[in-house]
Amino acid sequence: MDDERLWTRTRRAVYDEITRTAMELFLEQGFEQTTIDQISAAAGISRRSFFRYFGTKEDIVLGDLASQGVLVQRSLEAVPLSVPPWEALEQALWQVADLNGDLDAARKVAVMMYGTPSLRARSIEKHLHWQELLVPNIQRRLEAAGGDPLDPAAAAIVASAIACLDIAGQAWLREPGSDLRQLYRRATRAVRG
């Protein structure tokens, strides 16, 4: 048991070191200009070792996005079913956002993501995974309120909420000093209106 915990801690430390090193290179040189060989050399690992931790360069930047989807799902499950879908999603999203709290780091990653087509595509792929995780809960909320289990409303609500989050993120980058939560609320009001 102790050996397993040590291995897990060691693996996590190496993962974190590769991520930190890569992010420094991305911010210094640009995402597309930074190679896997450069990341491996700077982190002191082989190219082969790099691929034990990451499937692609994009996974370094967006790796946490997939795990955040699971956190949003857990947060959503904790919101009582009596809370309407849009409000429940907002509560779950911001609870997870509060855990990550570093807005400067989030802004740097967002600038990189929105400015790099391969990262943008990968983030959309990860958000599609979020939809799969969140739709069942929203479906239960709608059914509890008398909704039809075959109605596509749950999928539409989740997809719209994620799109609103994405649009709010883009606006947040364009408007220095803006509040991401307020931008999200404005986006959802426009969709729900």
| Tens of pLDDT, residues 74-83 | 999 999 999 9
Residue 69 pLDDT level (bands cut at 50, 70, 90): confident
pLDDT in tens, 82-116: 999 999 999 999 888 776 666 777 788 888 888 89
Average pLDDT over residues 43-58: 91
CA distances from 186 to 10, 25, 73, 93, 114 (A): 43, 35, 23, 15, 20
For residues 148 and 56, what is the distance between their CA atoms, to the nearest angstrom? 41
Q: How is domain 2-53 classified at the CATH fold level?
A: Arc Repressor Mutant, subunit A (1.10.10)
Q: Which CATH class is domain 58-192?
A: mainly alpha
pTM over 0.75: yes
CA distances from 157 to 30, 66, 141 (A): 35, 20, 12
Common-topology check for domains 2-53 and 58-192: no
- pLDDT at site 151: 81
% of the chain exceeding 90 in pLDDT: 47
Q: Per-domain residue ranges for the chain?
A: 2-53, 58-192
